[in-house]
Amino acid sequence: MEEEKDRGGGKLVEAGDRMAHVVIVYLVAVLLALPLYLIIYPFVPELVLPIGEGIRAEHFITFTCVLIAFIVLVRRFRTAVYLVLMVGLVIITFTSLAGRYSFADLYRDYAELLGSLRNTSPSAPLAARKLAPFNDADKLKTILNGTDATVRREAVRMATANFTDVKVGSDEFTMVQAFSIFKEINSRWRYVSDVKGGEYFAPPAESLELMAGDCDDHALLMAACIRSIGGQVRLVRTEGHVYPELLIGTEAQLERAGYLIRKQLFTKEVGDAPLYHHTDADGRHWINLDYTRNYPGGELMNERIIGILDV
C-alpha cells in the first residue's frame, strides 16, 4: 500500500512538472511572439471570410502561425531557454535588491516596446486592387493651382502658430509646420454639407475665411496651405469621403514623426491611441490629416480607398 501511494504521489509530481514545463513554454513563446507579430502583421494581405458581412481573419492566422513557430523553437531549445530565464531572474533579483532595475521596470519596458511597435506600424484599410479615376480631378487641380497670396500668408501664420519651441532637425521643419497648420484648421473647422444633389468645391481662400464646409473643401484647404509652405500632399477618395494625406517619407522618418506626434506635439490628443498611415508602391509613408480627428494619423474611416490624387 505504501509503495502504491508513493507511486501515485510520484505520478502527481511528474504530472505537475510536465504542466509547469508546458506553462513556461507557452508563456515564453507568447512573450516572444507578440513583438514579432506587431512588426509583420501590417504587411499581411487582407483575408476576409465570406461570413455575414465578412470577417477579417488575417490577424488571427498571423499570430497563430508566429506563436506556433516560437512554441516549436522554445521546446527544441528548452534547456537553453531555461538557462537564460534562470540567469535573467538572478540578475533582475540582484538589481531589484540594489534599487537599480526591478521587475516593475522590466514590465514597463516590455509594455513600452509593444506600444512603440504598435504605434509606428502601418495600420490602415487597404486600397482597392485597381484604383478608379479620381472624380473631378482636373477641377480640383485647377482650384489648387489658382491659390492666391492670401492663402500663402495665412498658411505661414498658421505654420508658425504652434510648436515653435520644439527642437527638430532642419529636414523636419516643414513637417512640423504642416502639423501646426493642421492644428489651426482642425481646431476651428465646422462641417457644412453641400446643396442636396449637388457638388460644390470651395476655393481655399473662401474656406479660409469661413473655416467651414464639407470634406472636399477641408481637403482642398489643407492641401493648398501645406503646399504653399513646401509640403507634399495628396487627396484620398474613399467610397464616401475625401481626406488629405501628408508625405512623411521613409520608415525612419515615419518613426520620428510618430515620436514627435505622440511625445511632443499632440500628447494630450493622442493618449494611448494608435497612429495610422498608408504606404505607397514606392515604400513612402503618408499620414492622414482628416478633419474628423484632432491629431495627425488619427483612426481612418472604415472605407476602402478607391482613388488617389497627387496634387
Position 129 scores a pLDDT of 42
Residue 129 lies in a domain: no
Decide if 244 contacts 219 (C-beta within 8 A). Answer: yes
199 and 242 both lie in a single domain? yes
Average pLDDT over residues 260-275: 89
Residue 125 lies in a domain: no
Decide if 238 contacts 306 (C-beta within 8 A). Answer: yes
Residue 69 lies in a domain: yes
Q: Which of 30-39, 87-96, 209-218, 219-228 has the lowest mean pLDDT?
A: 30-39
Average pLDDT over residues 29-56: 70
- Does residue 118 have a pLDDT over 90? no
114 and 147 both lie in a single domain? no
Per the structure, how many domains does the chain have?
A: 2
pTM of the model: 0.62
91 and 196 both lie in a single domain? no
Match 500663402 to its residue by C-alpha cell.
152
Q: Which of 55-64, 117-126, 218-227 has the lowest mean pLDDT?
A: 117-126
Residue 168 lies in a domain: yes
Strands (E), 106-222: 190-191, 212-213
270 and 207 both lie in a single domain? yes
At 272-290, the pLDDT tens digits run 788 888 888 888 999 999 9
- Does residue 133 have a pLDDT over 90? no
Q: In which band, very low, low, confident or very high, does the pLDDT at 116 lie, cut at 50, 70 and 90?
A: low
Average pLDDT over residues 8-35: 75
Q: In which band, very low, low, confident or very high, does the pLDDT at 122 lie, cut at 50, 70 and 90?
A: very low
Position 219 scores a pLDDT of 95
Give the residue from 94, 120, 146 where a domain finishes. 120
Q: In which band, very low, low, confident or very high, does the pLDDT at 61 lie, cut at 50, 70 and 90?
A: confident
86 and 198 both lie in a single domain? no
CATH number at 163 reads 3.10.620
Q: What is the mean pLDDT of the chain?
A: 83
Average pLDDT over residues 151-171: 94
Amino acid (1-letter code) at residue 68: I
Average pLDDT over residues 24-37: 82
CA distance linking residue 26 with residue 290, whole number of Å: 42
20 and 63 both lie in a single domain? yes
199 and 115 both lie in a single domain? no
Give the residue from 91, 120, 149 where a domain finishes. 120
Cα dihedral across residues 240, 219, 179, 252: positive or negative: positive
Average pLDDT over residues 102-122: 65
142 and 59 both lie in a single domain? no
Residue 38 lies in a domain: yes
Return the C-alpha cell found at 125. 484599410
Give the residue from 93, 120, 147 where a domain finishes. 120
Match 508546458 to its residue by C-alpha cell.
22
Q: Which of 64-68, 76-80, 111-115, 232-236 has the highest mean pLDDT?
A: 232-236
Residue 185 lies in a domain: yes
Cα separations (Å) of 95 from 87, 89, 102, 110, 294? 12, 10, 6, 17, 42
Helices 78-97, 58-76: crossing angle, 10 deg rounding: 90
115 and 164 both lie in a single domain? no
305 and 198 both lie in a single domain? yes
143 and 262 both lie in a single domain? yes
Decide if 131 contacts 278 (C-beta within 8 A). Answer: no
> Can you give the residue range of the structural domain that contains 6?
2-120
Average pLDDT over residues 245-268: 92
Residue 14 lies in a domain: yes
Sequence-distant (≥ 6) Cβ neighbours of residue 25 within 8 angstroms: 71, 74, 75, 78, 81
156 and 215 both lie in a single domain? yes
Residue 213 lies in a domain: yes
